[in-house]
Amino acid sequence: MTAIAVTIAGSDSGGGAGIQADLKTFSANGVYGASILTALTAQNTLGVSAIHDVPPDFIRAQMKAVYSDLKVNATKIGMLSRVEVIEAVAEGLDAYDTGPVVLDPVMVAASGDPLLAESAVDSVMSILVPRADVITPNLHEAARMLETEVADSEAAMRAQSEQLLERGARSVLLKGGHGTSDESADLFVDGSGNATWLREERIATNNTHGTGCTLSSAIASGLALGKDLETAIRDAKDYIHAAITAADRLAIGSGHGPVHHFYDVWST
């Protein structure tokens, strides 16, 4: 049977993040991708110039259309900009067989532009976090979710991961890519509190647009293929590291370019 994953997220007109990155990632990892749009962004490698929110009723219609027909094996959730959108998505998660859910709590674009209303942060925590099998915040997103300072050490990352578990998360992958060391270290803490560090050498490149979307979609791809969560996370970490390593092969835009989703398919 064909493995199917669904992305519930915003569109990036520049193609480097959002549903475009998600669908590329699904395809690169051997998974059929379907999509439910929550917002349209006017966006390129330089930033976000406009956001158009999709009406909640149309999000509900998309979820019904997709989940009532396709046998979905995993779901990734990305940009949800408003409380009403979050509530509509939560209704669908409860109503349909979505498979394991990966929540990437997207709050700010790589350019620094806000993608989540301040009033919606509490709704992410109270409504969506408990419904996800794993959440994948970066250091800044975790700090905003917990209303605290950005973690500046591995001990602080561990403490914040445990706080997220206490606040309802089933498991946490806290991404250390925004750190300043020579090593990019992510921390996976499962529902029992067992911690696993995933370390890679930091790659010197400006082409990192869409890394969070790509990593969470790669995890969803692994889950759709039947992998256990830790294996899916490890394989996704390997995939995003390779995609970042190959990012400079691409010449896209004049700002923060995308990672290379098809690094092992396209001719060099």
From the list 212, 214, 222, 237, the catalytic residue is: 212
- SS3 label, residue 75: strand
- Residue 140 belongs to a domain: yes
- Residue 266 belongs to a domain: no
Mark whether 7 is an active-site residue: no
Q: Can you tell me the mean pLDDT for 118-136?
A: 91
The predicted-structure confidence for 178-208, as pLDDT tens digits, reads as follows 556 677 899 999 999 899 999 988 898 999 9
Q: pLDDT exceeding 70 applies to what percent of the chain?
A: 94
The answer to whether residue 54 scores a pLDDT higher than 60 is yes
Mark whether 148 is an active-site residue: no
- Residue 117 belongs to a domain: yes
From the list 213, 214, 222, 237, the catalytic residue is: 213
Min mean pLDDT across 72-76, 160-164, 202-206, 216-220 is at 202-206
- Residue 268 belongs to a domain: no
How far is 186 from 138, CA to CA, in rounded Å? 9
How far is 242 from 180, CA to CA, in rounded Å? 20
Q: Name every residue whose Cβ is closer than 8 Å to that of residue 8 and which is 6 or more positions away in sequence.
A: 35, 36, 38, 63, 75, 76, 77, 78, 80, 89
Mark whether 175 is an active-site residue: yes
The answer to whether residue 85 scores a pLDDT higher than 90 is yes
DSSP state of 126: I
DSSP state of 29: T
- Residue 102 belongs to a domain: yes
Identify the CA nearest to 116 among candidates 86, 160, 87, 150.
Answer: 86
- Residue 264 belongs to a domain: no
pLDDT for the residue 179: 55
- Residue 67 belongs to a domain: yes
Interior/surface letters 99-137, b for 16+ CB within 10 angstroms, e for the rest = bbbbbbbbbbbbeeeebbbeebbebbbebbbebbbbbbb
- Residue 260 belongs to a domain: no
Mark whether 211 is an active-site residue: yes
Write out the residue range of the structural domain in which residue 36 sits. 4-249
CATH (domain of 183): 3.40.1190.20
Q: What is the number of domains present in the chain?
A: 1
From the list 25, 38, 136, 211, the catalytic residue is: 211
